[in-house]
Chain A
Amino acid sequence: MAKKSTEKLEIDPHRKWVLRHLRTGWIGLLVFLSLGILLEALHGLKLDVYLDVQNSTRRLMWTLAHAHGTLFSLIHLAFACSLSVLGRREGSTLPAVNLRTISRCLTGAIVLLPLGFLLGGIWIFDGDPGPGIFLVPVGAILLFIGVARTVLLIR
Chain B
Amino acid sequence: MSLDNSRVESDDDHSPPTSGSEPGRFLLWGVIGLGVLLLASKIGSVNQSRVNHRDKTAMERLLPHSRDNVYVSSNKCQSCHPGEFASWHKTFHRTMTQPAHPEIVAGAFDGSTVVSDGLEYRVYRKGDEFWAEMPDPEEMMYVVQGGKPTPLEEIPRVQRRVVMCTGSHHYQTYWVTGDPKYGNLLQTLPLIYLIKDKRWIPREAAFMKDPHDSTRMITQWNNHCINCHSTGGNPGLITSTKDASFGTEVGELGISCEACHGPAEKHIKANRNPLRRYALHGNSTKTDSTIVNPANLDHQRSSQVCGQCHGVFIRNDGQGMKYATEGIQYKPGDYIEQLRYYITHPREGSPKKVWEDYRKNPKFFRERWWEDGTILAGGREYSAMSASSCYTKGKMSCLSCHSMHDSDPVGQLKKPQADIANASCTACHTERQYTSHVQEHTHHETASSGSTCMNCHMPHTTYALFRAIRSHQIESPKIESSAKYGVPNACNLCHMDKTLAWTQDHLHERYGSTKVALTQEQKEVSAALLWMLKGHAAQRVITAWHAGWEPAHEAAGDDWIAPFQARLLQDPYGVVRYVAHTQLKKLPGFQDFKYDFLENDAALAAKVKEAIDLWRKLGHVETAHSGQEILISEDGQLNEAAVQTLLRERDNRTVEIRE
A contacts, CB < 8 Å to B: 52-57, 125-128, 131
Whole-angstrom distance from the CB of A71 to the nearest CB of chain B? 20
Interface residues of B in 238-282 (CB under 8 A from A): 274, 277-278, 281
Assess whether B18 is interfacial by the CB under 8 Å rule: no
Closest A residue to B77 by CB, please name it: A127
- Given the complex of chains A and B, what is the CA–CA distance between A125 and B277 in angstroms? 10
Question: Which residues from B are CB-within-8-Å of A53?
Answer: 82-83, 85-86
Q: Is the CB of A128 within 8 A of B278?
A: yes
Question: Which residues from A are CB-within-8-Å of B81?
Answer: 126-127
- Given the complex of chains A and B, what is the CA–CA distance between A54 and B83 in angstroms? 4
Assess whether B427 is interfacial by the CB under 8 Å rule: no
- Given the complex of chains A and B, what is the CA–CA distance between A54 and B281 in angstroms? 16
Closest A residue to B78 by CB, please name it: A127
Question: Which residues from B are CB-within-8-Å of A126?
Answer: 80-84
- Given the complex of chains A and B, what is the CA–CA distance between A125 and B81 in angstroms? 9
Q: Is the CB of A128 within 8 A of B277?
A: yes
Closest A residue to B282 by CB, please name it: A131
Q: Which 7 A-B residue pairs are closest in the complex by CB-CB distance?
A: A54-B83, A127-B80, A53-B86, A125-B281, A56-B82, A126-B81, A53-B82
Assess whether B79 is interfacial by the CB under 8 Å rule: yes
- Given the complex of chains A and B, what is the CA–CA distance between A56 and B277 in angstroms? 18
13 A-B pairs, CB-CB below 8 angstroms?
A53-B83, A53-B86, A54-B83, A54-B87, A57-B82, A125-B277, A125-B281, A126-B80, A126-B82, A127-B79, A128-B274, A128-B277, A128-B281
Whole-angstrom distance from the CB of A60 to the nearest CB of chain B? 10
Question: Which residues from B are CB-within-8-Å of A131?
Answer: 278
Closest B residue to A57 by CB, please name it: B82
Q: Is the CB of B86 within 8 A of A54?
A: yes
Question: Which residues from B are CB-within-8-Å of A57?
Answer: 82
- Given the complex of chains A and B, what is the CA–CA distance between A135 and B12 in angstroms? 59
- Given the complex of chains A and B, what is the CA–CA distance between A126 and B86 in angstroms? 12
Closest B residue to A125 by CB, please name it: B281
Question: Which residues from A are CB-within-8-Å of B274?
Answer: 128
Q: Mark B52-89, 1 if CB is under 8 A from A, else 0.
A: 00000000000000000000000000011111111100
Whole-angstrom distance from the CB of B88 to the nearest CB of chain A? 11
Whole-angstrom distance from the CB of B84 to the nearest CB of chain A? 7
Whole-angstrom distance from the CB of B249 to the nearest CB of chain A? 28
- Given the complex of chains A and B, what is the CA–CA distance between A131 and B82 in angstroms? 19
Question: Which residues from B are CB-within-8-Å of A128?
Answer: 80, 274, 277-278, 281
Question: Which residues from B are CB-within-8-Å of A125?
Answer: 277, 281
Q: Is the CB of A127 within 8 A of B281?
A: no
Closest A residue to B83 by CB, please name it: A54
Closest A residue to B280 by CB, please name it: A125
Closest B residue to A55 by CB, please name it: B83
- Given the complex of chains A and B, what is the CA–CA distance between A55 and B84 in angstroms? 11
Residue with the greatest number of chain A CB neighbours at <10 A, chosen from B81, B86, B281? B281
Closest B residue to A56 by CB, please name it: B82
Q: List 15 additional A-B contacts (Cβ < 8 Å) besides A53-B86, A54-B83, A126-B81.
A: A54-B82, A54-B84, A54-B86, A56-B83, A57-B82, A125-B281, A126-B83, A126-B84, A127-B81, A127-B82, A128-B80, A128-B274, A128-B278, A128-B281, A131-B278
- Given the complex of chains A and B, what is the CA–CA distance between A150 and B83 in angstroms? 43
Closest A residue to B89 by CB, please name it: A53
- Given the complex of chains A and B, what is the CA–CA distance between A13 and B84 in angstroms? 58
Q: Mark B446-465, 1 if CB is under 8 A from A, else 0.
A: 00000000000000000000
Whole-angstrom distance from the CB of B87 to the nearest CB of chain A? 8
Question: Which residues from A are CB-within-8-Å of B87?
Answer: 54
Whole-angstrom distance from the CB of B481 to the nearest CB of chain A? 45
- Given the complex of chains A and B, what is the CA–CA distance between A118 and B82 in angstroms? 19
Whole-angstrom distance from the CB of A61 to the nearest CB of chain B? 13
Whole-angstrom distance from the CB of A126 to the nearest CB of chain B? 5
Question: Which residues from A are CB-within-8-Å of B277?
Answer: 125, 128
Question: Which residues from A are CB-within-8-Å of B85?
Answer: 53
- Given the complex of chains A and B, what is the CA–CA distance between A127 and B79 in angstroms? 6
Whole-angstrom distance from the CB of A36 to the nearest CB of chain B? 23
Q: Mark B75-118, 1 if CB is under 8 A from A, else 0.
A: 00001111111110000000000000000000000000000000
- Given the complex of chains A and B, what is the CA–CA distance between A54 and B86 in angstroms? 8
- Given the complex of chains A and B, what is the CA–CA distance between A125 and B281 in angstroms? 7
Whole-angstrom distance from the CB of B406 to the nearest CB of chain A? 11
Whole-angstrom distance from the CB of B149 to the nearest CB of chain A? 58
- Given the complex of chains A and B, what is the CA–CA distance between A128 and B280 in angstroms? 11
- Given the complex of chains A and B, what is the CA–CA distance between A54 and B278 in angstroms? 18
- Given the complex of chains A and B, what is the CA–CA distance between A127 and B82 in angstroms? 7
- Given the complex of chains A and B, what is the CA–CA distance between A125 and B87 in angstroms? 16
Interface residues of B in 294-317 (CB under 8 A from A): none
Question: Which residues from A are CB-within-8-Å of B84?
Answer: 54, 126
- Given the complex of chains A and B, what is the CA–CA distance between A1 and B85 in angstroms? 71
- Given the complex of chains A and B, what is the CA–CA distance between A57 and B281 in angstroms? 15
- Given the complex of chains A and B, what is the CA–CA distance between A52 and B81 in angstroms? 13
Whole-angstrom distance from the CB of A137 to the nearest CB of chain B? 10
- Given the complex of chains A and B, what is the CA–CA distance between A56 and B87 in angstroms? 13
Whole-angstrom distance from the CB of A70 to the nearest CB of chain B? 21
- Given the complex of chains A and B, what is the CA–CA distance between A126 and B87 in angstroms? 13
- Given the complex of chains A and B, what is the CA–CA distance between A126 and B79 in angstroms? 9
Question: Which residues from A are CB-within-8-Å of B83?
Answer: 52-56, 126
Whole-angstrom distance from the CB of B405 to the nearest CB of chain A? 9
- Given the complex of chains A and B, what is the CA–CA distance between A52 and B86 in angstroms? 10
- Given the complex of chains A and B, what is the CA–CA distance between A125 and B82 in angstroms? 11
- Given the complex of chains A and B, what is the CA–CA distance between A1 and B522 in angstroms? 118
Whole-angstrom distance from the CB of B415 to the nearest CB of chain A? 14
Question: Which residues from A are CB-within-8-Å of B86?
Answer: 53-54
- Given the complex of chains A and B, what is the CA–CA distance between A85 and B598 in angstroms? 88
- Given the complex of chains A and B, what is the CA–CA distance between A36 and B274 in angstroms? 29
- Given the complex of chains A and B, what is the CA–CA distance between A128 and B282 in angstroms? 12
Closest B residue to A59 by CB, please name it: B82
Whole-angstrom distance from the CB of A122 to the nearest CB of chain B? 14
Question: Which residues from B are CB-within-8-Å of A56?
Answer: 82-83
- Given the complex of chains A and B, what is the CA–CA distance between A53 and B88 in angstroms? 12
